[in-house]
Structure 1
Amino acid sequence: MACGGFVCSKTSLCILNLIYVMVSLLMIGVAAWGKWFGLVSSFSVMAAVIAVGFFLFVVAIVGLCGAVKHHQVLLFFYMIVLFLVFVLQFSVSCACLAVSKEQQNLLLEIGWNKSESMQKDLERSLDCCDFLKVNYNESCDATCFEKQTCTPCSEIIQAYADDALHFVGGISLFFSFTEILGVWLAYRYRNLKDHRQNPGAFV
């Protein structure tokens, strides 16, 4: 059967959702692994990654069940949710790619001030202290603190932030197009007849 037919659309939709399932399980596993080994002490960061992974897992399972059973209602809700995710992810990816240096520095400072546990994680991993200016009268988890040779974390973070934002924006943009592909496949698949059953029946 030519691609674009019932079997091909069903297979493509199943494969796409299996990929989403693997990505979601990878996100949940990496977040749990990071927390287990103490790489990320912030519970809110870990919980956010796990929540996004679990949401993607649920959406993928709904799409997979809808594709396997050719279930009209499941496919409809799958299309709606996936399209909303596409709009949100596309907007975020464009914002990541278009953010200026001034906006980037402001966002980094706001993020730094929001979580004390994240500050400690960054100070340990990047071997730096404080954000804009090192204060040796306060405590710091970096190894350079005892030698008093620390640099402010903003200098190190800003050196990688631009590349990181472009990388995240590019990956997010790529996955957003797979989501619009999923919406198109689900829409096409919903309106196809299974010719292996009664040709006059629309299921």
Structure 2
Amino acid sequence: MVCGGFICTKNALSALNVVYVMVSLLLIGVAAWGKWFGLVSSISVVAAVIGVGVFLLLVAFVGLCGALKHQQVLLFFYMMILFVVFVLQFSISCACLALNTDQQNQLLEVGWNKSEVTREDVEKTLDCCGFSSVNQTGSCPAVSQTASSSVPSAGTRCVFSDSILGVWLTHKYRNLKDPRSNPGAFL
């Protein structure tokens, strides 16, 4: 059978979901490791990363079960979830690209001023005091007591081709007939 047939598409979709499982376990593991070793003290950040990891793990299991058993309902919901994730990622990417450098710095400074715990974590990790200038009145956990010349931003590029690849593979796989099934069966 030529590649692109039932077995090849099934294997590609299964491989994609195995990658999703590995990425989700990596997210969960890195968040737990960061909290365990005290690199991140904000429980809300750790909980958010673990939550995303668990969500991705559940979606990957739905996709993997649907791919291995050729279950139309599971594949449909998997495809819809991936499409919604793609739309969200694309929207966030467009919004990030719309911000210029000054707007990014303003947004980072607002976040910097909102959370004292996160600010102390960043100052300790990056060895800096203050966002754009040294605050002489406050306490700073950094060793060098210098201002950070550039705070690393989250980045404006978002890779979302894996979601649309998953949607395409799932749509293709759902519409393929299993060659081992009854020839008179619909799908």
User: Do Structure 1 and Structure 2 share a fold, with TM-score over 0.5?
Assistant: yes
Task: Give the structure 2 partner of residue 202 of structure 1.
Answer: 186
| TM-superposed deviation, 1:98 | 4.2
Task: Give the structure 1 partner of residue 89 of structure 2.
Answer: 89
- The answer (yes or no) to whether the contact 1:21–1:56 under 8 Å persists in 2 is yes
Q: Identity over the aligned pairs, expressed in percent?
A: 63
Task: Give the structure 2 partner of residue 42 of structure 1.
Answer: 42
Paired amino acid for 2:35 = K
Match of 1:165 among 151, 155, 171: 155
Paired amino acid for 2:171 = Y
- The answer (yes or no) to whether the contact 1:126–1:156 under 8 Å persists in 2 is no
| TM-superposed deviation, 1:143 | 1.2
Q: SS in structure 2 opposite 1:8?
A: helix
Looking at structure 2, the residues matched to 126 and 61 of structure 1 have their Cα atoms a distance apart, in angstroms, of: 38
Aligned pair 1:138/2:122, yes or no?
no
1:122-169 Cα distance to aligned partner (Å, 9 max, x none): 110111112233222221111124xxxx22x4x230xx33xx514xx1
Paired amino acid for 1:199 = P
Match of 2:166 among 182, 196, 199: 182
Question: How many correspondences in the alignment?
Answer: 187
Q: Name the Cα RMSD after superposition.
A: 1.5
Q: SS in structure 2 opposite 1:140?
A: coil
**Runs (4+) of structure 1 moved beyond 4 Å?**
none
Looking at structure 2, the residues matched to 102 and 190 of structure 1 have their Cα atoms a distance apart, in angstroms, of: 47
Q: SS in structure 2 opposite 1:4?
A: coil
What TM-score comes out, normalization by structure 2 length?
0.93
Q: How does 1:15-164 map to 2 (within 5 A)?
A: 15-145=15-145, 150-151=146-147, 153=148, 155-157=149-151, 160-161=152-153
Paired amino acid for 2:180 = R
Task: Give the structure 1 partner of residue 4 of structure 2.
Answer: 4
Looking at structure 2, the residues matched to 95 and 43 of structure 1 have their Cα atoms a distance apart, in angstroms, of: 27
Looking at structure 2, the residues matched to 182 and 23 of structure 1 have their Cα atoms a distance apart, in angstroms, of: 15
What TM-score comes out, normalization by structure 1 length?
0.86
Q: Which runs of 5+ in 2 are unaligned?
A: none
Q: Which moved more, 1:128-137 or 1:78-87?
A: 128-137
Q: SS in structure 2 opposite 1:40?
A: coil
